[in-house]
Structure 1
Amino acid sequence: MTKSRALGALCGLLAAACSGGGPTDEPAATSAPSSNAAIEQAEIRFSEIYFHASDPSPITLQDTGPVAEFVELVNTGQATAQLQGWCITGIKYCFEAAVELAAGAFLVVSADEYDGSLSNKQDRLRLIDPTTEVREEVTYSDRWPWPELADGDGYSLQRASFAGDPADVASWIAALPTPSQPNATVGVSPAREVVITEVNYHAVDDNPATTFIELFNATAEPIDLNGWCIEGLEFCWSVATVVTPGGLLTLQGSYDPAQLSAASDRLRLVDSVGTIEDVVAYEDSGLWPALADGYGHSLQRLDPSMSGRPPGNWISADANPGSFVPSSIGAPLPTFDDVTFVLSPDAGVDFELTATVTDAREVSVAYRIGFEDEHTVAADLVDGHVSAVLPGQAAGALIRFRLVGTGDGGIGTWPRQGDGAQYEGTVVRSEPTEASALPRFQLFMPDDVYAAAASDDSLHGDEGYPAVMAFEGEVFDNVLIRIKGNQARTNPKKKWKVRLPAGHEWFAAGRLVSPVDQFDLLSAATDKSYSREILTADMQELSGGYVQQVFPMRVERNGSFFGLYMYGESIDGDWRDRYGFSKDSLVYKGEGFAQLEKQDLVLSQDTLRKKYERHSLSYLDDNDQLLRDLITTLNTLEGDALAAFAYQHIDIPQVVEALATMRVVQHSEWQHKNYFLIYDPADEKWRLIPIDFDLNFGHWFHSPCAARCDDTQVLYWPNYPDHNRLARVLLRDDVLREMVDRRTRTLADEFFAAGLIEARLDELAALMGPDAALDVRVWGQYGARQTMAEAQAILLKNYVVVQRVRYLERGELLPTAQEGVPAIEVGTYDVDDAGQVVHAALTNTNPVAVDVSGRTFDEISAVMPAGVVIPAGGTILVVFERQPVGAQVTPQLVVTAARSG
């Protein structure tokens, strides 16, 4: 048999003859190049798919040289076939010219001939004839059960059976590419003489140095690993390292732990002559055990004789290197995928669910209604497809279920072993018992568990009591909740920390900026207007700086109204990722009297961390030296030396923005607590980020009522929060203070604009008013009785109007409003080889400081971050990546901008 290359160009028109134009992913609607009978009789098949070239050498074709990928067709019929008008979707290729494919001949379509590309992960290819009939379809994947070595290991997918369904993985094998030869008859798989048996890729303390990989010698002979490598870990043994027969080797501390991903990774063990011994491709959720992702478990292999690719050959358990005991289960545990069901089914309507499963011969569904005991029903299982019907339930009922599969390897479930949740589920559609315009957040907790959680003020961090949460029908089983705060723990209506089960994230039906795995339920227990936290988030959004998302929700417990709460975003690792912080950032939360004072230096590490709660890299035994050095510097340097430190090691625009924003909303509790202090080694700068906004807009903590006070007033604290030594640097330096004042004026002009806050409060009252009244009925109030509208009116009269007059009409404390768009000179700048600006200078020739926050400078394609103010006559340097500033002869503000366009 011979193979010929495709002679035709790409076919680009959908509704015209295949006579030119660009590529298309659809067949051309043309007159048939051969008779319909000939087309119908043609037996063209997919033969080979080379979708992921090995690194660094792609396959070489005789006619074209190296190519990164190709798709091969074969004519399995008895007669020559005409391919003009045939198309392959997925790669956008159609045969434009007349191309004959002889009986038994192969034809290769290489990457240089089509506009699309084959995904290295998963793709669907369809072969469509000129009559638009789909003749073959295959959706390949780099995941189990597809042949593991076709994924970048130098092998291709090859059709083992042309009689079988191309969509069936059993029709394919992995083998060395054969673009000029018949397909291989036997597939290739790893040798598995030495295999990976345990992977601890994310330790419970987040310490990358404690990650490890365990290897097992599955043979009866000693094996020297000298010259062997683990690709993906980028590690090779360079000295004699013998693993005894049936022996174990734990690899720890010898490789760069940054190479071992805490999300997903592909590890390939290769011997000294290049033979692939083992392949493991893990993930941190879904089909793989999520408890291995920083919850104390590791991934542990069951049967070393089976492939390391199927997730059913792995479980999670407490990390335990050097203790592997091989099993011979002979088949993976049943593994479920594509679980589908209707969210929020109507009352009384049967609940139908479907799924796919591998390695199972029977499946059942165990389900619970509310907190009843489990019921079990048998599911239908046909060719790996699962279906089941549960009886309809009453409106508002909580339905939770798990799938249980039994196979030759044992019992597998969905959610799988090692998942943070035990059940999937939903809530039967219902209407709230009282009219509400708010999204419903539903909690389900037995009364005794809730009572224990509400009275337990000892928990912190990731601890909590189990509950079930639901939002718009989406259920999360086994969430953990606990009360949070300091003084807030004593309020009748608590604040709550909610942590999702391992492996799960919540998007709030698209309401969130990005998915979260933890968040706060903010009670507004000290805010009768229920508006302060929302207004502060509005202010942050308007300013363009760091935002902690907030929105109101009607919270119910076990079907009854529980309270009006605010969703509050946590400043956690996901939040830091969104704002570009490096993984090695050092994070502290200011607790009581954490003012960065010199007296803190004598504290032990344990005592210091009670004032400055460490939220990252807590495994380091560093005595918090960077924090201590900061405190020393802030309390030792003065004048120009302190200013030089600020320009080099404080993110001045960020702190300017924080100070200005909190001035406008009058945050009265963040100089000694209620802030995060973050040091990012990427640019060697500290940042000061305020949190906890329920006492903003005229409220403050004072005697004798503490946080539960009716007083609302503007506080004349012009230098607040200068008892915080980092904030003091900006507030007591003339140039930096000028930046803060200018930015404050800009924000005051925007936020206190006539009618803006009034309209927002009216909107919130209409949205939340009925639920606010219910909340007062359930939880009561401190002090004088007020409706939400009355409290909003007080906020307006005693705070907003007063500040508006003070800042905008009288011009107290702040400069006059910035008019128009003041001219800023774009000075010299450097570009890289791609023509992008690397750094540039901006000069303010005006006699006053100019706020350029959010401003785009087209000449350098730069958008300024919030808080950038150029002093009168000053020049700033603009860069585009976080990087250390370094020592400066003359201190100059260096700003990290975003690229426009």
Structure 2
Amino acid sequence: SYLPQYADISYGVDGTGLRRYLPLASPGTSNDLPSNRGPLVVGLAQSPSVIYSGDEFRVLTVVRPSASPIFSVELRYRVMYRPETTVNMGLEGVDNAGNLIYSATIPAADFAPGDMVRYYTVAFDVQNYYTRWPLVGNPNNSPYYFGTVIADATIPGGVPTLHWFVRDEAAAETRDGTRGSVFFEGRFYDNIFVRTRGVTAATRPKKSFKFEFNDGYELQLSTFNHTVDEINVNSNIDDASYIRQILAWEAFRDAGSPYSFALPLRVQRNGGFFGLFTMIEQPDSDYFKRNDLDYDGALYKVDANTLAGNTSGLDKRTRKDEDMSDVQALMAGIHLPGEEREAYLFDNINLPAVLNFLAVSHVIQDWDYVSHNHYLYRDTEDTGEWMFLPWDKDLTFGTVQEDGTNSHPFHGSSAHPVVFVDSGQSTYNHLFEALYTTPRIRDMYLRRLRTVSDLLLQPPDTPAEDRYFDRRIDELSTQLADVAALDAARWYVSMDFATATNWLKVHSLDVKRRQLYEQLDVAAGGIFPAAQPTLPQVYFAAIDAAVAGQAPRSEYFVLHNYGSDAIDISGWKVTGAVEYTFQPGTIIPPDDSVYVTKDAHAFRARTVAPHGGQKLFIQEGYKGTMDDDGGALWLRNRDDHVVDTASFGDVGANTRQVFLPFVSR
């Protein structure tokens, strides 16, 4: 077995044959350098793990000799930003592996509640070679110290608390930033980078911040059982309720869209109360892995770009060795005429993901996502399809305008552009426009909007205790009331906390319910559809099993909606010879089909129908195979009830044979 590995710290065999950390790497030559000859540090710990005022605590280190016997081990510690104190560590004993255990005590008189205490050890051998722990492999990507924060009994539980320490507070409140330390959920992170984030927020007294953690020392979020290397700590300066961002991100999560973790955060800076913030996960490689997205895909952060035809305002975040021809092709495709554009949309847009994104964005009343506050992502290495990833959800849950300004279900189209009230200017997103003006896709979107509204918003006659958002607002209000009062006293907010949270219910959610379920109800001549039928007419229409010698990726099966309403089959499953679950946002338009294949790229490249370019709705990725030996498939709805069965090859006794080919477009 090997010792833990860290970024920017080499590990190998030294001149004595010991495997060890190598402070100075020597590629291609011997590792027997003077800097690599000090004692070997096996581990370091403190006891107890939680330190209270008035309690001394011990630091223990486990070392073993390298080239020469150990002479001494020192503990060097500092409280806050005071000078270091050095104490000799005493030998406590020897463990079963023959390693030497040293310890030293940090006296209780040296610290107070809320203080940061940092420390490192230095082990010397008789030749005066030494090893510092932690090693500092990279001054800008390594901790200088381990440490802890002395427990403060005046800070109640209930709200996650981030203890932040920074020597230069003024530098921390700039875009250039500075380095500092963080203690969160019982873990200490030293020498991390902190800067301000945002444009408008950076001009306010209470700013938003970005925290970047060192490689190998990522922030552990036990609440989400996840680690991240970067977080955004947002000020909520324009949100007296402090909870808009949390509600918005949880809505994306519960509707099945990619989302960032979000949680309320009490921040203590240099031992004193600093404010109530919201922690938001950065869309980085950890985010992509958790959301089952390929980080090798193309990612653009969008800032003032509507996909009208130019690339201004598109910040390329991945695949930086490539040009921007992929997004230029996207803009060209969504401006094709008529049926060519429709075929392009069905072949190049991840329609379930995009329709889900648009539906959730409407329900949370995000008026400011049309030209920015989102990412564009392409699954470059697999389907080649584009989708949106949400970002910056602070301007959500606003007032619904009676005339539909910034609040119509087709918000962001040319008919309902985003209007910037202060300037009177307006604009629209050209992909939104292409989707909303394509009848089949418009029907799909409206059906998903109804599903998401029923899930998150609910009709006006829903009892308050059963309302998704109202329940969550009440929970967060109870959790945050005391900390919100402290924040308001420090920073000043425009509305008291109780009034602000109630405003969300009365002036945002209730008004949106009435707009969708009453004013825009299809029964009243509007566009908001009725709930879909309890027993939709969705059945297997075709199965094309791979014949002997044929690549399995050419297989596919077809579900057809024989009814007159668009049907949401999100979460439906196909079981039997293959296993597949339809992703959130999968809608079959009336008298239309969805083609499910092993590999969408290969399916679209077929030389005989069905194939790409035919305006077919195609989904991919089932597990298992269908071959000419025969088998059966079962279609199950979200309640796991069998909706239909079908067979291929050798017909089963309890299944229905379906025929080929089937091309509905």
* Change in CA separation of 1:832 and 1:395 when aligned onto 2, cut-off 3 Å: farther
User: What SS does the corresponding residue of 1:589 show, helix, strand or coil?
Assistant: strand
Contact 1:334/1:409, CA 8 A, preserved across alignment: no
Structure 1 position 655 matched with structure 2 position 371: no
Give 1:883 shift: 4.9
2:99 aligns with: 384
Q: Aligned with 2:596: secondary structure? A: strand
CA contact (8 A) 2:594 2:618 kept: yes
- Asked whether the 8 Å contact 2:554–2:602 carries over to 1, the reply is no
Q: Separation in 2 of the partners of 1:315 and 1:712?
A: 68
In structure 2, C-alpha distance between the alignment counterparts of 1:403 and 1:898, rounded to whole Å = 54
2:298 is aligned with 1:612: no
Corresponding residue for residue 395 of structure 2: 695
- For the aligned residue pairs, the C-alpha RMSD in angstroms reads 3.2
The equivalent of 2:651 in structure 1 is none
1:802 shift after superposition: 1.2
1:858 aligned counterpart, secondary structure: strand
* CA offset digits 1:624-676 (Å, max 9, x no partner): 222223223333x1221112122222111111111111011111111111111
Q: Is the 8 A contact 2:234 2:277 kept in 1?
A: yes
User: Quick check: 1:792 aligned with 2:501?
Assistant: yes
Residue 414 of structure 1 is matched in structure 2 by 133
Q: How does 1:418-497 map to 2 (within 5 A)?
A: 418=137, 420-432=142-154, 435=156, 437-446=158-167, 449-454=168-173, 456-457=174-175, 459=176, 464-497=177-210
1:507 and 2:220 aligned: yes
1:874 to 2:582 alignment? no
Tell me, in whole angstroms, the C-alpha distance in 2 between the residues paired with 1:880 and 1:772: 51
C-alpha contact 1:332 1:359 (8 A) present in aligned 2: no
Please tell me whether residue 743 in structure 1 is matched to residue 462 in structure 2.
no
Please state how far the C-alpha of 1:872 moved relative to its aligned partner: 1.3
Partner of 1:627: 327
Residue 896 of structure 1 and its aligned partner are, at CA, apart by: 3.7
Cα separation, partners in 2 of 1:653 and 1:442, compared to 1, 3 Å:
same
Measure how far apart 1:534 and its partner are: 1.2
Q: 1:328 to 1:800 in 2, by over 3 A?
A: closer
Size of the aligned set, in residue pairs, is 571
- The SS at the match of 1:346 is coil
Query: In the alignment, is residue 895 of structure 1 matched against residue 636 of structure 2?
Result: no
Inter-partner Cα distance in structure 2 for 1:879 and 1:351: 61
For 1:654 and 1:511, how far apart are their aligned partners in 2? 26
2:418 maps to which residue?
none
Q: Is 374-383 or 512-521 further displaced after alignment?
A: 374-383
Residue 772 to residue 644, structure 1, CA distance change in 2 (3 Å): same
Per-residue CA distance 1:489-532 (angstroms, 9 max, x = gap): 11221111111123211223x11252101111111111111121
Q: Deviations over 1:584-642 (max 9, x none)?
A: 21211011x211122x26xxxxxx4xx11121233x1x44222223223333x122111
Change (3 A) 1:325 1:788: same
Tell me, in whole angstroms, the C-alpha distance in 2 between the residues paired with 1:867 and 1:684: 18
1:674 aligns to what SS in structure 2? strand
Query: Aligned partners of 1:713 and 1:427: how far apart in 2?
Result: 52
1:589 to 301, 304, 317: 301
Tell me the distance in 2 between the aligned counterparts of 1:832 and 1:863: 24
1:291 deviation in Å? 3.1
Distance 2:489 2:157 in 1: 15
Match among 393, 397, 404 for residue 122 of structure 2: 404
How many Å apart are 1:582 and its aligned residue? 2.7
Task: Look up the SS of the partner of 1:431 in the other structure.
Answer: coil
Amino acid at match of 1:487: T
Deviations 1:437-477 (A, max 9, x none): 3121111123xx112221x24x4xxxx31111111331111
Change (3 A) 1:444 1:417: closer
Of the candidates 525, 537, 558, which is equivalent to residue 237 of structure 2?
525
Counterpart code for 1:372: R
Mapped partners of 1:617, 1:671: distance in 2: 24
CA contact (8 A) 2:165 2:182 kept: yes
Whole-angstrom distance in 1 between the partners of 2:13 and 2:574:
59
Q: 1:365·1:403 contact (CA, 8 Å) conserved in 2? A: yes
Q: Is the 8 A contact 1:865 1:896 kept in 2?
A: no
State TM-score, norm by structure 1: 0.59
Q: AA paired with 2:251?
A: M
Kindly indicate whether residue 269 of structure 2 is the aligned counterpart of residue 570 of structure 1: no
Q: Name the residue aligned to 1:706.
A: none
Aligned counterpart, 1:25: none
CA distance in 2 between partners of 1:831 and 1:349 (Å): 71
Residue matched to 2:78: 368
Name the amino acid aligned to 2:449: T
Q: Relative to 1, partners in 2 of residues 1:391 and 1:739: Cα closer, same or farther, differing over 3 Å?
A: same
Cα deviation code 1:746-782 (max 9, x no counterpart) = 011111123222222111111111111111111112x
Distance across 2 between alignment mates of 1:440 and 1:565:
10
CA contact 1:343–1:474 (8 Å) conserved in 2? no
- Verify the 8 A CA contact 2:162 2:265 in the aligned structure 1: yes
CA contact (8 A) 1:714 1:798 kept: no
* Structure 1 gaps, min length 5: 1-140, 145-285, 293-298, 602-607, 703-710
Opposite residue 183 of structure 2, the aligned amino acid is A
> Given the superposition, is the C-alpha separation of residues 846 and 493 from structure 1 closer, same or farther in structure 2, using an over 3 Å criterion?
same
Q: Which of 785, 797, 803 is matched with 2:512 structurally?
A: 803
Aligned equivalents of 2:406, 2:159: Cα separation in 1: 33
- For residues 436 and 879 of structure 1, do their structure 2 counterparts lie closer, same or farther at Cα, with a shift above 3 Å needed? same
Contact 1:519 1:569 (8 Å CA) reproduced: yes
Give, in whole Å, the separation in 2 of the partners of 1:774 and 1:672: 35
Give the share of equivalent positions with the same residue, in percent: 25
The alpha-carbon deviation at position 832 of structure 1 amounts to: 11
Deviations 1:266-294 (A, max 9, x none): xxxxxxxxxxxxxxxxxxxx444x137xx
The aligned counterpart of 1:851 is: 568
| Distance in 2 of aligned mates of 1:425 and 1:880 | 51
Indicate conservation of the 8 Å contact 1:479/1:498, yes or no: yes
The aligned amino acid for 1:630 is L
Say whether the 8 Å CA contact 1:553–1:564 is kept in structure 2: yes
Distance 1:538 1:417, change over 3 A: closer
